[in-house]
A and B are shown apart, each in its own frame.
Chain A
Amino acid sequence: MPFLNALVRFLGAVVLTYLGLLAVTFFIGRVVPIDPVLAIVGDRAPEHVIARVREELGLNLPLWKQFLIYLGKVLQGDFGTSVLSSNPVMQDIRRVFPATLELATLGTIIGAGIGIPLGVWAAVRRGGVADQMVRVMALIGYSVPIFWLGLMALVVFYARLGWVGGPGRIDVVYEYTLTPWSGIMLLDTALAGEWEAFGNAFSHLILPASLLGYFSMAYISRMTRSFMLNELAQEYVVTARAKGLSEARIIWRHALRNAAVPLVTVVALSYAGLLEGSVLTETVFAWPGLGLYITNSLQNADMNAVLGGTIVVGSVFIGLNLLSDLLYRTLDPRTRTR
């Protein structure tokens, strides 16, 4: 039963990944030189309050015991309460993750939608305009701080030109007119049939998404270019040309088809990277997403929240890995025969 074997091996790997992830995050969280009690009681609390909270949190116990207790609770589906928001961690994450998901998804669509054709073009016309563009864009993408670029984009497109909505997910006017269902603004507004709010949410989303899209485009187009160059130098391309196939067919149907296999990994990784939440983008655009949530929690040693966030990020990676594995199987017939 090779399939069952593979499944067991996969599940084993998933469990180990989670355990490792949790253990490392947990112990890092406990050795950072920040007193987690401070985040809860503040700087002014009398000593007896501090001592009581320390005990309530179980911080007096040995580290391994704390970890086992935490693990036991997680297995029962209890990820604890965030000390900063006073909410169960998973409730918080259900609120912040859709914001990041929406941003990352649109960012990746923009990044891959423009990056792949651009990369192909650059590979086909080496040294041409597109090739130079890809190079310059990648250079800017790597060297300009996203924070600065975000602010500049806001100044130009929001403040000066007024083309897009500003920081935040939606205008205050709409804030209390719709009930969030999925937490994904575009979906919620569309389902409610509130097209004006939909347009408003889109105008808030497009700038940060384009910014993230730009950075993933810079990466994806470069990778596409190099994969394509590799493929175009293959013998089957020469054969195809000799057969008299049209150049377009050779590029899009033959070479890109083969380059698609590694590209899937590149796009998936870039998507996963965006799903972790981009702290700086979220800061500039006042976007209440996962990146800000985890960072803010970490700075306050709010470890339940950090661990909960880590599990979500871990799940995203595992899920996308699985997805790209499945895509491999459809894209590359050789993997199916094994």
Chain B
Amino acid sequence: MSQSVLTRRAGSLATAAAIAALIAGAGAALAATPKDTLVVAWAIDDIITMDPAESFEISAGEIMGNSYDRLVRFDVNDPSKLSGDLAKSWKVSDDGKTYTFELKPGLKFASGNPITAEDVAFSLQRAVQIDKSPAFILTQFGFSKDNVKDKIKATGDLTLTIEVNQPYAPSFVLNCLTANVAAVVDKKLVMSKEQNGDLGYAWLKTNYAGSGPLKVREWRANEILALERNDNYHGEKSKLARVIYRHVKEASTQRLLLEKGDADVARNLTPQDLDALASNKDIKTTATPKGTVYYISLNQKNPNLAKPEVREAFKYLLDYSGISGTLIKNIGIEHQNFLPVGLLGASTEKPYKLDVNKAKELLAKAGLPNGFKVTFDVRTTQPVQGIAENFQQTAKRAGIDIEILPGDGRQTLTKYRARQHDLYIGQWGADYWDPHTNADTFARNPDNSDDAKSKPLAWRNAWDIPELTKKADAAVLERDADKRKALYEDMQADFRKTSPFVMIYQMNEVAAYRANVGGLKLGPTSDSTYMFTVTKQ
């Protein structure tokens, strides 16, 4: 009796479960995204603001690049070429200090407000006045809160002058004006939302006031970011009505969404995922070398690591080709210079390869024939963790005993910034599209004291380099492009030989997308991956 009751109950439970599964099955329409909407699966949890004067993160950069216009943009296919965006033309005064821009007439913001020189001047002034992380890209030209209104001003409805403090290379100044921090915001709209003289800062953090081909419809942190076609855009209108970025942290999940057609583009796939997708006819991939380089650095506060021979020995202890073929396959390109390929003057010299004997010789010369012990701060993400472990193995062959200290990204970075590490593995992405951005951090250290005002990567590794600093300073003032290029080449040669940085690779960004998506091209910087040129069949 009891048995039959229970069996019947269990039986009905099982039936109920089966029915539930069937209902769920019926509900799941076979996946396809709408034709006019591009769905991008991407880890977008780095976005903290929608204000171009503050935004400095990778995924935010792409949003800004698609939704805000600026005076000039560089050509995605040849980043050394500039073209006018809002600017129709520009000229530089003979003394090299005054830039005059003439805007294209009749342009409108997404809000419908007209775009005037006053909006441009306001946007640049605002970025300097708000003074957030990326403001230095502008303030390095001598602007400050006090003088910016005199230095950058509208001289007519459509004309604007910018006065810099030194006769910089024009390419340097214009390159910096392509950065997001120089994006043009709708003055009327922003100022209507001002609270307590904050220049609209509180409002713009989560809102939009631009004129780009796509406008920001909604941002829900860690969840979704939706862009929509801006019908007021001055250039060719976006083919897609909507671009939706979905925050998907896990690479395997991204891959499933892409394969199933619930995402059109997947942005954070691992080398293994990409290998597996290579045989799928419905999926294509596109790749572009980015302005980001990865390195292992040696803190010069550690007396062993400060020896020139040790610095050089470490460069012979990395298995460059092994790492290229495995850990960074598809996602990185072996690179041994501080300037990423694509920037003016970038070198592709690769003098180092794994050579344990050579390293041993150098260590013996440094008086450390039996090697030494050293710690290595590594954040627990791939591929850096894999590279660090690989390096640990090869260094052991030369007697160097590396202890890996695993940590979270922010944690290792906090330690690195305080110069408390021995070895550190990190990456650096160009802040703006000019060689000075990387020269400024890798090869320039004006003050090596603990309380220095500026703390570039050279400082973080306590690398005191008065000579290189002078060269870097001279290069930004060289107005002849060929001569400027030669200066950077010279600095890189010096850097390769003497620096405490073992340069590993340049990032190669790969996106996998469904075959019905056309025109997707990743830009060399985060803000030049344009979604408004993408089509869908």
- B339 contacts the other chain (CB 8 A): no
Residues of chain B from 22 to 39 with CB closer than 8 A to chain A in the complex: 23-31, 33-34, 37, 39
- A101 contacts the other chain (CB 8 A): no
Known: A117-B10, A296-B45. A155 touches B2 (CB 8 A): no
Which A residues have a C-beta under 8 Å from some C-beta of B? 32-35, 38-49, 52, 82-87, 92, 95-96, 114, 117-118, 121, 124-125, 130, 151, 154-155, 158-159, 161-168, 171-173, 175-176, 199-200, 202-203, 206, 246-248, 251, 283-286, 288, 292-293, 296, 299-301
Taken together as a complex, chains A and B put the C-alpha atoms of A226 and B265 apart, in Å, by 50
* Shortest Cβ distance from A198 into B: residue: B27
- Chain A contacts for B224, CB-based, 8 A: 175
- B449 contacts the other chain (CB 8 A): no
Shortest distance between the CB of B75 and any CB in chain A (Å)? 25
Known: A46-B136, A49-B131. A165 touches B27 (CB 8 A): yes
- B373 contacts the other chain (CB 8 A): no
- B152 contacts the other chain (CB 8 A): no
Shortest distance between the CB of A213 and any CB in chain B (Å)? 11
- 12 inter-chain pairs at a CB distance below 8 angstroms, sorted by A residue, are A34-B408, A45-B136, A46-B453, A85-B221, A151-B252, A167-B253, A171-B31, A173-B33, A246-B2, A286-B247, A286-B249, A299-B410
Taken together as a complex, chains A and B put the C-alpha atoms of A283 and B247 apart, in Å, by 10
Taken together as a complex, chains A and B put the C-alpha atoms of A204 and B77 apart, in Å, by 41
Taken together as a complex, chains A and B put the C-alpha atoms of A299 and B380 apart, in Å, by 12
Interface of B is mostly: mixed
Q: Which of B57, B253, B414, B455 contacts A286 (CB 8 A)?
A: B253
- Chain A contacts for B132, CB-based, 8 A: 41, 45, 49
Contact A121 B10 (CB under 8 A): yes
Shortest distance between the CB of A32 and any CB in chain B (Å)? 8
- Chain A contacts for B50, CB-based, 8 A: 86
Known: A33-B414, A35-B410, A176-B226. A86 touches B6 (CB 8 A): no
Contact B260 A159 (CB under 8 A): yes
Taken together as a complex, chains A and B put the C-alpha atoms of A286 and B244 apart, in Å, by 15
Q: Which of B5, B17, B250, B452 contacts A284 (CB 8 A)?
A: B250
- B431 contacts the other chain (CB 8 A): yes
Report B210-251 CB contacts with A as 1/0, cut-off 8 Å: 000000000011111010000000000000000010111110
- B74 contacts the other chain (CB 8 A): no
- Chain B contacts for A154, CB-based, 8 A: 253, 256
Contact B30 A162 (CB under 8 A): yes
Q: B20, B26, B31, B244 — which one has the most chain A CB atoms within 10 A of its CB?
A: B31
Q: Which of A118, A125, A155, A293 contacts B222 (CB 8 A)?
A: A293
Contact A299 B408 (CB under 8 A): yes
Q: Which of B3, B25, B30, B455 contacts A47 (CB 8 A)?
A: B455
Known: A92-B221, A296-B45, A296-B222. A285 touches B413 (CB 8 A): no
Contact B256 A167 (CB under 8 A): yes
Q: Which of B29, B49, B57, B222 contacts A292 (CB 8 A)?
A: B222
Interface of A is mostly: helix
Taken together as a complex, chains A and B put the C-alpha atoms of A42 and B46 apart, in Å, by 10
- Chain A contacts for B23, CB-based, 8 A: 199, 202
Taken together as a complex, chains A and B put the C-alpha atoms of A59 and B368 apart, in Å, by 44
- Chain B contacts for A166, CB-based, 8 A: 31, 256-257, 260, 262
Shortest distance between the CB of A277 and any CB in chain B (Å)? 12
Shortest distance between the CB of B116 and any CB in chain A (Å)? 29
Contact B256 A159 (CB under 8 A): yes
Report B430-460 CB contacts with A as 1/0, cut-off 8 Å: 0100000000000000000000111100000
Report B404-432 CB contacts with A as 1/0, cut-off 8 Å: 00001111011101000000000000010
- B509 contacts the other chain (CB 8 A): no
Known: A33-B411, A166-B260, A284-B250. A87 touches B206 (CB 8 A): yes
* Shortest Cβ distance from B217 into A: residue: A176
Q: Which of A38, A167, A296 contacts B257 (CB 8 A)?
A: A167
- Chain A contacts for B45, CB-based, 8 A: 84, 296
- B133 contacts the other chain (CB 8 A): yes
- Chain A contacts for B205, CB-based, 8 A: 86
Shortest distance between the CB of B181 and any CB in chain A (Å)? 11
- Chain B contacts for A33, CB-based, 8 A: 411, 414-415
Shortest distance between the CB of B504 and any CB in chain A (Å)? 18
Report B125-163 CB contacts with A as 1/0, cut-off 8 Å: 000000111111000000000000000000000000000
- Chain A contacts for B409, CB-based, 8 A: 299
Known: A44-B134, A87-B206, A301-B410. A167 touches B248 (CB 8 A): yes
Shortest distance between the CB of B430 and any CB in chain A (Å)? 11
Q: A47-B452, A52-B131, A173-B33 are in contact. List 9 more A-B contacts (CB 8 A).
A: A46-B135, A46-B453, A159-B260, A166-B31, A173-B34, A202-B23, A206-B20, A247-B1, A283-B250
Known: A34-B408, A85-B222, A299-B410. A286 touches B30 (CB 8 A): no
Taken together as a complex, chains A and B put the C-alpha atoms of A41 and B413 apart, in Å, by 13
- B316 contacts the other chain (CB 8 A): no
Contact A165 B253 (CB under 8 A): no
- Chain A contacts for B21, CB-based, 8 A: 163
